[in-house]
Structure 1
Amino acid sequence: MSELITVEGFVLTKQQLKTKYGFALCYWLTSDLGPIQVMVEQQEAVFFVLSSDLLQILALLKSENILLRTQALGLKSFDQQAISGCYFSTLHGFYQAKKIIQQAGFRLFEADVRHCDRFLMERFIRGSVLVQGQAIKKQGYLTLQQAKMKPSTYQPNFSVVSLDIECSGQGILFSVGLYSDDFDVVIMVGAPQHSEQNIVWVSDEEQLLVQLQRYFVERDPDVIIGWNVIDFDMSLLYRRAEQLGVPLYLGRAQQAMQLSERAVGKLLLPGRVVLDGIDTLKNATYHFNSFSLASVAEQLIGEKKLIESDDRLAEIEHQFKYDKLALAKYNLKDCQLVWDIFKQEKLIDFAILRTQLTGLELERQGGSVAAFVNLYLPLMHRSGYVAPNLGDHNHHFNSPGGYVMNSQPGLYQNVIVLDFKSLYPSIIRTFLIDPIGMVEGLLAPTQSIAGFHDAYFSRTAHHLPNLIATLWQARDVAKQQKNKMLSQAIKIIMNSFYGVLGSTGCRFYDPRLSSSITLRGHEIMLATRAEIERLGYQVIYGDTDSTFVQLASELSAEECKKIGFLLQKKINNFWCDYCEKKYKIASYLEIEFETLYSPFFMPTIRGSLEGSKKRYVGQVSDANGDHLVFKGMETVRSDWTELAREFQYNLFTLIFAGDSVEVYIKQVISDLMAGRLNHLLLYKKRLRQHLSEYVKNIPPHAQAAQKMSMKYPEKTPKRGQWIEYVITLDGPVVATEKPLKLNLQHYLEKQLQPIADSILPTLNMSFAQFLSGQVNLFEN
């Protein structure tokens, strides 16, 4: 028996399934009633064609016995041609027709949009959903048939488990750890041993996989989290199950896990989401020199893995052979580290917010283009257009990047920074930059707003400015409520819109669109500089959306801030007046007085008198005291040694405090050449390609890795691996080799001297004056 019910939930997974009536859409939800399988039956897949091609296309498909229905639609292409829809009741027919029509050279529109995505997109469903359907109770879940869906504001409360596997170098499974806030277990291959830990002992890999499936049924998680969990853990489980001939039904309703070679959506676990810690952190714009679990855990939660050996795999294999209890502890600790990172950084909350803002799947990495399509496509259809295909614009020139002014190098006592708040989104919103807006604007240029490269934008027909306005208002509310996560999520989405329009991988890419954003940015930065200088202040640098203004040295911090807020008001008024007088539009450009640097240093380009770009250091003061801010300098670059970073930081600390640097520089040189700073001489750089691909102009870190590989072939580093090395009298050597002879002269000339030479001339000094009496090479 079934009954009609209405329930709210959150979409976990989506599928297109063949049925005896054609095909259906299957959505798995989490809800207050538990997991729900939603079935939307008797669907039609659609793509669009030019109405002028329809008769020829129908004749072509009829000759291949492909069934479809067609409909003339009130839609048109960007070049104003009428559009018809082609509807298919089977996926086989859809894909077969698509192939035939493309091979015949006819234009297709939106043939790459999956119907399970389109169904949600056109209903503005982004994660949270209200469903009505005939409910049938199954074992552990509900199925809703003949379902109808619409958006809701439901907030899910996921059941989550952290998963981690341990295995040999050949991929043979040793153990699987599962961890949550109220449950933990390690499934270990081996003879039972007494332990205080919750260890389930199994006889072999087959039994390990069987036991793992049992826990998935019992615990029934919505979300599985882990570290590189899709590409490593889940992929290895899938491959081992295949090799061993063991069915692996980890999905809900005892459905099998599906793994493909696709870059996007390679893993499908029906009814469950697999969230990778690395991908989720990157989506939330976290930056680390290394995204290894050991490195991230130490930086974020101050904890370490239980095995810190340089050869972690060898230690894991040793423990499996001789100390399985230690391996179980290590396995579970990795699960717990991932759990604690997700919990502390609220990564699942961030993933939910991202889905609710964009409609992207929870686990989707990147996806700026897909997010834009999700948001824009249904709005565009309602304006009477179908989406263009890649390259439909026929304009081939490169859009410029953000404007960067030439800097005026030197040491300054007071410099204030004025930043445009979300410059590119505010340009889009102010000057009505929009794909549909440009199509309509080019039809009536005299009534539109001029962009760049002969682009024009309609004053009334557009969507992107309104989307940004909605997001902007939501972000302001989030800020007022001190919801930093929501504010950050919205900022990421808004800032991605320019990148999408400037990406050749986006169907809406047109260089006239992206140029009308960046070149407007150039115009705004130049006019802002001119207005500030008209008001009597000197601009010494500008970068994309930031303007650096020199103020008189004798001014106090309060006087500088007063001027900063005065300039903020005047510049905002200037742009309001400018936009109204020239374009009859409202300005959403908003500049903010952001920072007072006191002092501030802008270096020259090395070996030149010309000022550098995107490199500076300044001191800011707040309630916690004075702090140095480095941009683009060696202190914030991972490919410089700790020696260089410490030297630069201490040098500027002394200079900004007005103290002498002579004694400090002499001491550092003396300590370096005496071997007292050897612990600071480590370089660290990632291999960007396979070691065998480094043939000509081999960089030092690759040289060091090649030497180690020749000596220890089993330890050959892989692409993407970080190489820690030092420079010896015999060249670069991996740090674990423990060299006896360091080339200290190299560190003097390549690490200390460039840093000193960037600042000392400003003080009428040179590094050379400190080098008298130094010999060329020192051994230690």
Structure 2
Amino acid sequence: MAPTELKGFILTRHWRDAPAGTEIEYWLATDAGPMRVVLTSQTSVAFVATRHRAAVEAQLAAMPGVEIRELELKNFQQEPVVGVYAKHFRQIGRLARALRAQDIPLLEADVRPHDRHLMERFITAGVQVEGGHTDRSALVDCRLRPAPDYRPALRMVSLDIETSQYEALYSIALDATQDRTVFMLGEPPAVPGEAAASADFSLVYCPTRKSMIEKLNDWFERNDPDVIVGWSVIQFDLRVLQKTADDCGAQLLLGRDRHTIDWRTHPGKQGYLFASVPGRVIVDGIEALRAAMWSFPSFSLESVSQALLGEGKAIGDEYDKMAEIERRYQEDKPALALYNIRDCELVLRIFEKAKLLQFVMERAQTTGLQIDHFGGSIAAFSHHYLPRMHRLGYVAPSVGEIASKAFPGGYVMDSKPGFYDSVVVLDYKSLYPSIIRTFLVDPVGLVEGANAADPSMLVQGPQGTTFSRTRHCLPEIVTTLWRARDEAKRARNEPLSQALKLLMNSFAGVLGASECRFFNPRLVSAVTLRGHEMMKLTREFVERRGYETIYGDTDSIFIWLGRTHANEEAHAVAAGLVKDINDWWTRTLRETHKLENFLEIEFDTHYSKFFMPTIRGSDVGSKKRYAGLSKDAAGKEEMIYRGLEMARSDWTPLARQFQEGLLSRIFRGEPYEEFVREYVRSTLSGGKDELLVYRKRLRHRLDAYLVNVPPQVRAARIADEHNDRLHRPRQYQNGGWIRYVMTRSGPEPMEVLHSRIDYDHYLSRQLQPIADAILQPMGKSFAALTTSQQHLF
């Protein structure tokens, strides 16, 4: 007997065409365990302009089960449309292709059944299940309703493998709360070593790789996790496991009910794979961190572990690591197992530290996307927008209906370079969402505005656009998300707050993406150009108060208070400006536009000392590059760098440490001339050789560099020639990261250094440009301070 009502969280979703019609399958995580929900005989729908009805009917003779129905809907050209209802979703696709040959668009034909079922019911991830009947292991033909507050405890396993340098599988580690196991290829040692005796996991020896895959399948069926996590888990671990299974004639059955993995390739990213398994979600740690806007110089497990946990797992460089793995596999398999499961443990701890599982769950609940689907801003926008648009009587346009062309981006003011005391930064809270909400910017609103008869019901936008005051969708969506974020912040639910912020902030970008069905340059310009106007008006307001604006970028304005202010005084001035600007917007919008104000400027930072450099080699102020010594309300100091060399990974640690040391001394009024001289002396004498390493990314295959060959490519070619001589796999042919230094013979990789270091290169290309940008506004120069020293070496 099926339960009459329960709550679940959608893990995976699929559709298939069955004889009776399209079936939709959802796997849910519930308090009672996993549940499979099947909805049978689902009808698929698309739309076409009524004037094309005859052309559609001509196609239907060969498509039994497809019918046309009259609807009270229209397209963006104000034409009435009819609904095309199909027994099978694939029929919609066939009809769309046939009509495309006649230049007739079948609207919304690409919306998949399992997505449409959810979006039309305003369901994202949490669901309430009502009714239905059980059929074997599934709950069939129940009703689904939104349950936005439901969050189950998901069971997670961390998976990692170890291989030879040629990707021959050696071991599989699985770390879950209830079971920690390593499957190892080979026979157990006659005498267990120290690592085996102290292990807190099960080490299972397997005579063949086929038996490893079979035991892995059994482990998943027995432990039944909801979430598989790892580090590059799809692109490496699961890919190698699938290849191993294929090679030895086994099936890799990691899905619920022992389903196989569904593999897909990325259409625009060569070699990039997607993997889905019914009933379980696969969350890659690297992708999850990026989606949550974490940033690291390197996303290797070692680098992220050191940054977040203060510890790592490295054996050595890539080849030392491979050699040590090989040694452990041949001589000390328990030690290899310990290393293998250590990686799993680090991944779990990173997920816990960064709250990644909570974030991806909140992101799913916020966006309507499956937990393990990253990116997807356009799909998330459509999930929220389409059902609301339908209720206003419209169907969505097709992708490409409006030709792609450029539109204005965010407003960036010309900067005024130099050193300053007491600079305060104010910024607009969620600028683009607040513009959408205040000025009623909306795809349907734009269409309605162009066809409205009563001017009093319109909001005037930039470039002659007009928006309906009463018929729109996006402002209400933003308002709902905004209020939810305020509540999440009050509840200190940072993962939810971050997910809501990212979704709201993606909306303007989606409207400016030519791949989006709602793309319209006039629409996105109504947001960005309004932002330009706001920043210019804010600058005028500030300057009427007697202060000077020295820079502004999209939503932030940098204000020089004109003289040195004590920290409390600067914070008070900033608070006064914030209140007055917000009050001014409220009055102006009410009196001039009859609009409610949702624009809100906030105090961000007080810099007691601030530096805005020039563009290198000119007197023009730079943009998006500055440094400052900030002070919070309690007087706590922090050095801030934006866009400068020390904040960029393509400069050496030598340059970054030099810039930080020089600026911090100048900001704090400390002597700096001897610091510069000593830094040069130490560099020339070899005292800073460990800081000379460049780390750069190879963005293309090595053989793609034909005319312009940058230093990192030259170093990579030397490294792989060295690998060839040692009969090791080439490491850099398909891209990646390379570490190298500049020598008298040019760039040489860290794997094979033969020549003397070119210290002149580091002085002239790394230290001097940084020093002169900072010193010249003070009438000093790097050469004047260091020339006599350089001659000594």
TM-score, normalised relative to structure 2: 0.94
CA distance in 2, matches of 1:497, 1:3: 41
**2:495 aligned residue (473, 478, 485):** 485
Counterpart in 1 of 2:781? Answer: 766
Counterpart selection for 2:141 from 146, 164, 177: 146
- Whichever residue aligns with residue 392 of structure 2, its letter is S
Residues 65 and 484 of structure 1, relative CA distance in 2, 3 Å threshold:
closer
Correspondence 1:168 to 2:164: yes
Distance in 2 of aligned mates of 1:16 and 1:614: 47
Aligned residues of 1:5 and 1:132 also touching (Cα < 8 A): yes
Match of 1:189 in 2: 185
Contact 1:417–1:546 (8 Å) recurs in 2: yes
Counterpart check, 1:272 vs 2:267: no
* AA partner of residue 477 (structure 1): E
Equivalent residue for 1:375, pick from 357, 361, 384: 384
How far 1:673 moved relative to its partner?
A: 1.4
Q: CA deviation at 1:28?
A: 0.9
State whether structure 2 residue 54 is matched by structure 1 residue 45. no
Letter in structure 1 aligned against 2:498: Q
CA distance in 1, matches of 2:516, 2:791: 56
Work out the CA distance in 1 between the residues paired with 2:483 and 2:541: 29
Q: Deviations over 1:698-726 (max 9, x none)?
A: 11111111122223233341444211111
* Aligned 1:562-711 pairs, distance under 5 A: 562-622=572-632, 623=634, 625-711=636-722
Q: Deviation at 1:653?
A: 1.5
2:343 to 320, 323, 334: 334
Partner of 1:111: 109
Query: Residues 200 and 72 from structure 1, CA distance in 2 versus in 1: closer, same or farther, beyond 3 angstroms?
Result: same
- Match status 1:232 vs 2:236: yes
Give the 3 Å change call, closer, same or farther, for CA 592–717 of structure 1 in structure 2: same
Partner of 2:358: 349
How far 1:743 sits from its partner (Å)? 0.6
Structure 1's 310 and 170: CA in aligned 2 closer, same or farther, altered over 3 A?
closer
Deviates more, 1:125-134 or 1:515-524: 125-134
Q: Name the stretch that deviates more: 192-201 or 431-440.
A: 192-201
The one-letter code matched in structure 1 to 2:661 is N
SS, match of residue 659 in structure 1: coil
Secondary structure at 2:78 match in 1: coil
Cα distance in structure 2, aligned partners of 1:552 and 1:216 = 66
- Structure-2 separation of matches of 1:487 and 1:43: 35
Structure 2: how far apart are the matches of 1:582 and 1:26?
53
* 2: CA distance, partners of 1:673 / 1:167: 43
Question: Are 1:209 and 2:207 matched, yes or no?
Answer: no
Contact 1:306 / 1:330 at 8 angstroms: preserved in 2?
A: no
Give the superposition deviation at 1:66: 4.1
Q: How many angstroms apart in 1 are the aligned matches of 2:487 and 2:91?
A: 48
Secondary structure of 2:557's counterpart equals strand
Q: Please report how far the alpha carbon of residue 278 of structure 1 lies from its aligned counterpart in structure 2 after TM superposition.
A: 1.0
Decide whether the 8 Å contact of 2:427 with 2:557 is kept in 1. yes
1:221-260 matches, within 5 Å, as 221-260=225-264
- TM-score of the aligned structures, taking structure 1 as reference length: 0.96
Cα displacement string for residues 633-661 of structure 1 (whole angstroms, at most 9, x for unaligned residues): 11111111111111111111111121222
CA drift of 1:419 comes to 0.8
Answer yes or no: is 1:313 the counterpart of 2:322. Answer: yes
Quote the Cα distance in structure 2 between the aligned partners of 1:577 and 1:91: 53
Q: Determine whether 1:159 maps to 2:155.
A: yes
Q: CA deviation at 1:607?
A: 1.2
Any idea what the Cα deviations from partners look like across 1:586-644, whole Å, max 9, x if unmatched?
A: 12111112111011111111111111111111101244742211111111111111111
Q: Which amino acid aligns with 2:87?
A: S
- Residue 5 of structure 2 corresponds to 6
Q: CA deviation at 1:313?
A: 3.0
Q: Show the counterpart of 1:400.
A: 408
Greater Cα shift, 233-242 or 128-137? 128-137
**Which deviates more from structure 2 when the two are superposed, residues 299-308 or residues 512-521?**
299-308
Alignment of 1:180 onto 2:185: no
Unpaired segments ≥5 residues, structure 2? none
Q: CA shift at 1:162, angstroms? A: 0.7
Equivalent residues of 1:238, 1:259 under 8 A apart: no
Q: Does residue 1:101 correspond to 2:110, yes or no?
A: no
Aligned equivalents of 1:686, 1:137: Cα separation in 2 = 54
Counterpart of 1:28? 27
Against the structure 1 CA distance between its residues 382 and 720, is the aligned structure 2 distance closer, same or farther, given a 3 Å change threshold?
Answer: farther
Name the structure 2 match of 1:737.
752
Among 289, 292, 316, which residue is 1:281 paired with?
A: 289
Look up the SS of the partner of 2:187 in the other structure: coil
SS, match of residue 396 in structure 2 = coil
CA distance in 2, matches of 1:181, 1:346: 17
**Contact 2:702 2:735 survives alignment (8 Å):** no
Comparing 285-294 and 192-201, the one that deviates more: 192-201
Q: 1:188 to 1:770 in 2, by over 3 A?
A: same
How far residue 265 of structure 1 moved from its aligned partner, in angstroms, is 8.7
Evaluate the alpha carbon distance shift between residue 135 and residue 613 of structure 1 in structure 2; reply closer, same or farther with a 3 A threshold. same
Distance change in 2, residues 1:680/1:169 (3 Å): closer
SS at the partner of 2:265? coil
Gaps in structure 1 of 5+ consecutive residues: none
SS of equivalent residue, structure 1 residue 407: coil
- Are the equivalent residues in 2 in contact too, given 1:265–1:364 (CA < 8 A)? no
Partner in structure 2 of residue 515 of structure 1: 525
Instruction: Call closer, same or farther: CA 1:92–1:542 in 2, change over 3 Å.
Output: closer
Offset, 1:182: 3.4
Against the structure 1 CA distance between its residues 4 and 673, is the aligned structure 2 distance closer, same or farther, given a 3 Å change threshold? Answer: closer
2:722·2:752 contact (CA, 8 Å) conserved in 1?
A: no
Percent identical across equivalent pairs? 43
Contact 2:567/2:631 (<8 A) preserved: no
Distance 1:475 1:666 in 2: 51
Task: Give the letter for the 1:95 counterpart.
Answer: G
* TM superposition shift of 1:234: 1.7
Residues in 2 aligned to 1:653 and 1:247: alpha-carbon distance in whole angstroms: 60
Show CA shifts across 1:115-159 (max 9, x none): 111111111111111112444375xxx411122111113211111
1:444 maps to 452
Aligned length: 772
Partner Cα separation in structure 2 for residue 239 and residue 736 of structure 1: 30
CA distance in 1, matches of 2:84, 2:128: 29
1:56 paired with 2:55, answer: yes
1:473 & 1:101 partners in 2: Cα distance?
43
Using the TM superposition, name which of 305-314 and 756-765 deviates more. 305-314
Indicate the SS of the match to 2:257: helix
Tell me the alpha carbon deviations over residues 397-454 of structure 1, each in whole angstroms, 9 at most, x when there is no partner. Answer: 4111111111111111111111111111111111100101101011127231122233
Q: Which moved more, 1:761-770 or 1:503-512?
A: 761-770
2:365 equivalent to 1:366: no
SS of structure 1 residue aligned to 2:426: strand
DSSP-derived class of the 2:563 partner: coil
1:374, CA displacement in angstroms?
A: 0.5
Residue of structure 2 in register with 1:502 after alignment: 512
2:718 partner SS: helix
Q: Residue 221 and residue 607 in structure 1: after superposition, are their counterparts in 2 closer, same or farther (change >3 A)?
A: same
For residues 443 and 792 of structure 2, the distance between their equivalents in structure 1, rounded to whole angstroms, comes to 63
In the alignment, is the contact (CA less than 8 A) between 2:771 and 2:781 conserved in 1? yes
Q: Deviations over 1:44-63 (max 9, x none)?
A: 1111111111122111231x
Paired residue secondary structure (1:304): coil
